[in-house]
Copies of this chain bind each other. A is one copy, B any other.
Amino acid sequence: MPEAASAAAVRATIGASEFDRDTAVTRRAPGVYDLDLSAGWTIINAVNGGYLLAVLGRALGDALPHPDPFTISAHYLTASRPGPAVVRTETVRTGRTLSTGQASLFQYDDEGNEVERIRVLASYGDLDALPDDVRTSAKPPVIPPMDQCFGPEDGPAPVEGSSAITDRLMLKLDPATLGWALGQPSGRGEMRAWFGLADGRDADPLSLLLAVDALPPTAFELGLKGWVPTVELTAHVRCRPAPGPLRVAITTRNLAGGFLEEDAEVWDSADRLVAQSRQLARVRLG
């Protein structure tokens, strides 16, 4: 048996990893893609919204003339379930620098009728074609070294329900934002973590769409429990990420009227701000 086949020693690569296989789509006809939503990306029994966004992002990347999602806005309509699905895309406009597309993910009801799960609008471009000017005033989040941070494997799962996604992520939370797991939420709407894929696959624009919605919700640190379903999430991918772990910081400034916004910033190992997102989510005040 060749040395490279020793599972623990093999780092997965972009294009040949579990994330790539589980977000793969098969073109059935122009703009129509079949796929199977994996049960491996569930969080508290629900299919993770960032994983779903990556699936739609992959289909649009195939359908549009530009490869990379620059800005993608998703409205979540009904709860997705692991299993067969179809994505239908529409090319809205093609330009020299950007093209715009729309996509919907459908599953099937008991009679086999299509039920729409998510609809997205997105503008795509080519990250590699951008000039390399950077005039950002943002600073990377300050997170302790990875070995001083904590993941789901470091303690009993604090949340009920199957969360298969935790096996597929390298997620190490800043202890300063872990009060919720000890029954002592900080009251601040902040969560910070080191983020990667557990099999060592490096980040790319599609996995950034996963990264923006993969941390425990800020609502936990605000003292809320239970499900915080996303109504809408918009992500901007600003740069192709360098190899190595990402840092993700999410922030909520306004919890009001049963809704909250959650802003995410994703930084790569080269200290580039590679993605930003904002979502509107509903909260159950308990």
Contact = CB atoms under 8 A, between A and B. Distances in A.
Interface of A: 70-71, 73, 75, 77-78, 92-93, 97-98, 100, 102, 116, 119-123, 127, 130-138, 188-189, 222, 231-232, 234, 236, 238-239, 252-259, 261, 272-273, 276, 278, 280, 282, 285
A280 B102 CA distance: 17
Contacts of A116: 92-93
A255 B272 CA distance: 11
Nearest to A282: B97
Of residues A130, A131, A231, A273, which shows the largest number of chain B Cβ atoms within 10 Å of its Cβ? A231
B136 A232 contact: no
B280 A70 contact: yes
B285 A261 contact: no
A28 to B, nearest CB: 23
- 10 A-B pairs with the lowest CB-CB distances in the bound complex, closest first: A130-B257, A73-B73, A138-B253, A71-B232, A136-B254, A135-B255, A134-B256, A234-B234, A71-B280, A77-B93
B75 A255 contact: no
Contacts of A121: 73, 75, 119-121, 232
A92 B121 CA distance: 13
Nearest to A104: B92
17 contacts: A71-B280, A73-B73, A73-B232, A73-B234, A97-B282, A121-B121, A121-B232, A127-B257, A130-B259, A133-B258, A134-B256, A136-B253, A137-B189, A138-B253, A234-B278, A238-B257, A238-B261
B273 A253 contact: yes
Contact of A256 (B77, B188, B231, B239): B239
A78 to B, nearest CB: 7
A192 to B, nearest CB: 16
A272 B136 CA distance: 29
A73 B75 contact: yes
